[in-house]
């Protein structure tokens, strides 16, 4: 019951990017063997800390090192040529044996649109045009468009192409997901958002698909530690960099999950919202209750030698203990014993 997320931030005080990129596929291979459900790779451009600009390339490296792990890619659709994107998606679909799925989004940073020579105000129109063509190409159609005959090869392994959802944090995003009959993976739970999604689905002849609308307090970055105080001392500056950068990109955002407007490590810890460090017993309890641990093991450029023990603690301690506790019906006793043993 845990996932991995990689955005490959590498601030000047963090690890070298080469070490981070070498470690991410290794972590995925290890995590696959220890109960991880999926690896999530997100996209941004022009970030001073080198935020991952190419999830498709990193996902290909991860696919080569894994066999079962689900791959979830977050792509900013207006930045792509839909023909080239269809080809890249098809190749990754074949390489991963159909394990890659996609969350498509509009993006929100004017700086990124400037990099690509696009107007932020055109993002909705661009997304609509590109999504329509992309889906037809992945379904194997030959498209006649403005005098062009367009076809994308090879055909993806998945029938009609891999699964795609729409991402966003607004009513407009929910309506767009519904219009195209896509699932909705929101980054917020705006009032009326679920209703807007379901109404839009039915209005356009679709049954609502899978949809997730996280509350503001849903953590986006989790770690598990034997000693939480020591962990905050060790990890704090990396987690704070991640939190402050996202907050700077989203001034005034008070609805999206994963954002904390904290200026110090102490404030970030006290918020106990976006970035959370659990004790081992807390993590076991959460897994037993059916909650997902959203791990971001290289958060903020965390050096791999520091990151590995936190990740291994989840796969080698938390999940086995949670599984045994659930199976023997004496979970409270097991938690007490574990707490005592690990503090001894």
The pLDDT profile of the chain, 344 residues, written as one tens digit per residue, is 899 999 999 999 999 999 999 999 999 999 999 999 999 999 999 999 999 999 999 999 999 999 999 999 999 999 999 999 999 999 999 999 999 999 999 999 999 999 999 999 999 999 999 999 999 999 999 999 889 999 999 999 999 899 999 999 999 999 999 999 999 999 888 899 999 999 999 999 999 999 999 887 889 999 999 999 999 999 999 999 999 999 999 888 778 877 788 999 999 999 998 999 999 999 999 999 999 999 999 999 999 999 999 999 999 999 999 988 665 444 444 334 334 333 34
pLDDT recorded at residue 254: 79
pLDDT recorded at residue 161: 93
pLDDT recorded at residue 326: 62
The alpha-helical segments, DSSP class H, found in the chain are 17-32, 55-65, 82-95, 110-115, 123-138, 171-179, 193-203, 228-249, 265-271, 280-288, 304-313, 319-328, 331-343
**Alpha carbon 114 to its chain's center:** 24
Burial 2-15 (b: 16+ CB within 10 A, else e): bbbbbbbbbbeebb
Burial 239-274 (b: 16+ CB within 10 A, else e): bbbbbbbbbebbeebebbbbbbbbeebeebbeeebb
**Dihedrals phi, psi of 156, to nearest 5 degrees:** -65, 155
Query: Model pTM?
Result: 0.92
The single residue listed with the structure tokens 């987690």 is: 239
3-class SS of residue 277: strand
**Dihedrals phi, psi of 50, to nearest 5 degrees:** 80, 25
């Amino acid at each position: 019951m845990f996932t991995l997320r990689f955005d490959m931030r590498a601030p000047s005080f963090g690890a070298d990017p080469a070490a981070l990129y070498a470690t991410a596929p290794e972590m995925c291979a290890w995590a696959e063997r220890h109960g991880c459900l999926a690896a999530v790779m997100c996209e941004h451009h022009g970030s001073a800390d080198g935020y991952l600009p190419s999830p498709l390339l990193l996902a290909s490296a991860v696919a080569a090192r894994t066999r079962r792990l689900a791959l979830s890619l977050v792509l900013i659709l207006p930045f792509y040529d839909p023909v080239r994107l269809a080809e890249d998606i098809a190749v990754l679909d074949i390489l991963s044996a159909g394990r890659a799925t996609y969350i498509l989004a509009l993006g929100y940073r004017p700086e990124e649109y400037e990099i690509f020579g696009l107007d932020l105000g055109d993002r909705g129109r661009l997304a609509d045009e590109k999504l329509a063509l992309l889906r037809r190409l992945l379904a194997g159609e030959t498209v006649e468009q403005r005098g062009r005959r367009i076809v994308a090869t090879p055909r993806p392994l998945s029938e009609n192409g891999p699964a795609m959802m729409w991402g966003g944090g607004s009513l407009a995003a929910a309506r767009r997901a519904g219009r195209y009959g896509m699932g909705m993976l929101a980054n917020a739970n705006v009032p009326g958002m679920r209703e807007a999604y379901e109404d839009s689905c039915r209005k356009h002849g679709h049954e609502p698909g899978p949809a997730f609308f996280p509350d503001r307090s849903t953590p986006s970055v989790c770690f598990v530690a034997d000693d939480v105080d020591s962990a905050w001392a060790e990890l704090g500056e990396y987690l704070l960099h991640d939190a402050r950068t996202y907050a700077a990109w989203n001034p005034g955002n008070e609805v999206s999950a994963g954002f904390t407007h904290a200026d110090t490590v102490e404030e970030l810890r006290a918020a106990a919202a976006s970035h959370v460090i659990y004790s081992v017993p807390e993590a076991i309890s959460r897994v037993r209750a059916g909650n997902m641990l959203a791990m971001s093991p290289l958060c903020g450029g965390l050096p791999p030698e520091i990151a590995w023990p936190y990740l291994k603690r989840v796969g080698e301690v938390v999940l086995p203990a949670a599984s045994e506790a659930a199976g023997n019906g004496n979970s409270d006793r097991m938690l007490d014993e574990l707490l005592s043993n690990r503090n001894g």
